[in-house]
Structure 1
C-alpha cells in the first residue's frame, strides 16, 4: 500500500469522522492501456469534494456524479468506461484501454460497519501486517482476509497469488463476483552505509513510495545535512536492525565496503525474510566477502541470496546511475521478474 493510497483512505475516514457522507471509488479491472492500476482509489463526499484518482483525470467527473447517487441511495454500483463507450470518449478516456470502477458508500446499507473495516486496514498496515479487503460486488459487503485460510477453497489460491504479486483483482466466487483489494505493507529499504551512492538513492526510493531507513554508526556520514528528512539509525547494524525489523517487504543493501559494518548487516538480513539483500563491491571484493561470511557460519544457500555486485548491469557510471541500477534491481526482484539479476 503506497503512501498516497494510505492518504486517500485515511482522509476518507477523517471525512466520516467529521460527519460527512462519503463514497469510495476503486478500480477493480483494467484492459489495455488503462491509466491507473487495479486498486487505485478515489474518495468523494456528498458535496463533490474528492481525493485520489481512478483514471488520471479521464473519468473522474463522471465517477463523482455517480458517487452522489451512490451516497444518496446507499447502494453500490459498478461502472465501466472504454474507448467504444461514448460516455468514456466524452469524458476523455481515449488512451486505448478500458476500466471498471466500483463505487460504494462508506456508511449505510445492509451488512455494513461504517468505517470499521477500513480503520482496521489502516491499523494493520501501520503494524506491517498484510491484509486483503474482500468485497462482494453484488452487495458491497466487506470482510478482511489475512491468509488463504480466511477464504473458501475456491478463492484461497487466488488470494495467495494476489499477496505474492502485490496485485488486486476481481474474480468469480461461489457466492458471486468478489474484488480482492491487496494492502501489503509499504516496502522498506534499509540502507546500511550513509555513503555517496545513498544520497541519490534515498529520493529515488521515496519517489517509489518506499519507507527508507539509513543505518550507520559513523556520525560524520549519517547527518541530516547530507540526507534531509529521512530516518537515520546511528547504531551498529546488529543493534539497529532488530529494532527496525526486517520482514518480507524489506530490502536491505550494504554499501560501506567496511566488513565491520556490512558483514553483520548481511548476516542478519540473510537469516530474515528480506526479499532482497544486496552488497556494493566488485566481484573480487564479493569473493572475499563470501569467504568471511562462510567462516561466520553462513550457509552456501544463504550466500546465494546476496545480489552482488549490486544493481542491474546498465553500464552505470557515477553515484546517481549506480543508485538507479540498485533501485531497478530491487524493483525487478520485488515484481518477480526472474531474480532481478543480469
Structure 2
C-alpha cells in the first residue's frame, strides 16, 4: 500500500506517460482549521479524474469542475486561495474566515515526476524546487527535517523516503501492529527466523523475512525515518536486534516486556557494545498507558507512542506507562 501523496505522484506519472495533460495541486499555506496539512497533494487529469486530497472534498469538487468545464489550460504554476471571505469559507467547508492556499502546477515530462519516483524507490530524501516564473523543476538531496518553503519565485517541497517499521517476531500482537502501521502509510517489514511463527502469517502488504534480526537491521541501513519494534519476548532474538538498532539513526526503538524484564534487558545490553547514551533511546516497556488489555489495544498504544516520538512530542507530555500494558501481551 502506498501513502496517499506517493499514490498521487505514481498516478500523475502514469497519466503523463499515457499522453494526458494533468496538474498537481499542493497545499502551501493554511489559516485556521484545515482538513489536510501543508504539503498535502492532489492531482487532476484532463478527463476530470482525481487522486489525492487537499481539503474535506468541497475544494476538490471546485477544482474538478473547473477542469471539466475549461480543461487544463495553465501553462505555468499559479498560487490560488480559497476561503478568503466568509461566504467562500462556508461554501468550501472551511471555518468562517479561514483560508487555504494552493499551488497549481501543470505537469509534463520535464516536471521530473518519474525521476522523483525513482529516487524515492531508492529510499532517498528529495527536495523538489519548482520555479513559479518558468515552471522549471530541479531535484536534489533534501536536508533532514526541512519544511515546505514558498516565496515569490519558487516552491520547495520535500519528498520521502517512506517511513519504515521493522517488527521482530511474527506474533499475534505483531499482526495488529502491522495492520495499523500499514493504514498509517508505513512500509512494514516483519522478521522472524522461527518457522513455526512464520507459517501462519498472512498480512497483505507486509514483507515477511526469514533472517537473523541483527543481520537484517544492518542490511536495512536504518535511517531517521525508520522504527524498530522487538516483540518476541525472546532475548536471543530481541536483544540482538535492539543492540544494532540502538546504534542506528532510527527515530524509534522499542521492546515489549514488563518493567522487571525491561530492567534485565537493559543490564544485558550494557554488557554488549551498547553505551548508556544509546540505551537511553530504548522505549521499554513499549507503548503509552491507555488501559490496554487485548493485543489490538496494545498495538494502538505502541503506535500512539511511536507517533508521538515521530511528531516530536516531549516525553513529559506523554502518558506514563504501566506494567499491565506489557504484561497483558
- Under TM normalisation by the shorter chain, which class is it? 0.7 to 0.9
Task: Report if the CA contact (8 A) 1:81-1:100 is conserved.
Answer: yes
Cα distance in structure 2, aligned partners of 1:177 and 1:85:
29
Gaps of 5+ in 1: 108-113, 148-159
Cα distance in structure 2, aligned partners of 1:249 and 1:136:
28
Report how far residue 116 of structure 1 moved. 4.9
1:265 corresponds to: 241
1:125 corresponds to: 120
Query: What is the TM-score when the length of structure 1 is the normalising length?
Result: 0.85
> Residue 187 and residue 319 in structure 1: after superposition, are their counterparts in 2 closer, same or farther (change >3 A)?
same
2:106 corresponds to: 105
Task: Report if the CA contact (8 A) 1:247-1:274 is conserved.
Answer: yes
Q: SS in structure 1 opposite 2:58?
A: coil
> Residue 116 and residue 215 in structure 1: after superposition, are their counterparts in 2 closer, same or farther (change >3 A)?
same
2:83 corresponds to: 82
Cα distance per residue 1:252-288 (max 9 Å; x no partner): 0111111110111001101211110001111111111
Task: Report if the CA contact (8 A) 2:214-2:240 is conserved.
Answer: yes
1:250 corresponds to: 226
1:4 corresponds to: 4
Q: Which moved more, 1:291-300 or 1:219-228?
A: 219-228
Cα distance per residue 1:124-154 (max 9 Å; x no partner): 111110012122334433222314xxxxxxx
Q: Which moved more, 1:248-257 or 1:71-80?
A: 71-80
Matching of residues 41-190 of structure 1 within 5 Å: 41-67=41-67, 71-82=72-83, 84=85, 86-90=87-91, 92-96=92-96, 97-107=98-108, 114-147=109-142, 160=143, 163-164=144-145, 168-172=147-151, 176-190=152-166
> Residue 137 and residue 73 in structure 1: after superposition, are their counterparts in 2 closer, same or farther (change >3 A)?
closer
Report how far residue 53 of structure 1 moved. 1.7
Cα distance in structure 2, aligned partners of 1:14 and 1:231:
25
1:286 corresponds to: 262
Report how far residue 177 of structure 1 moved. 4.4
Report how far residue 170 of structure 1 moved. 3.6
Q: SS in structure 1 opposite 2:48?
A: coil
Task: Report if the CA contact (8 A) 1:22-1:71 is conserved.
Answer: yes
Query: What is the TM-score when the length of structure 2 is the normalising length?
Result: 0.88
Task: Report if the CA contact (8 A) 1:135-1:179 is conserved.
Answer: yes
Q: How many residues align?
A: 316
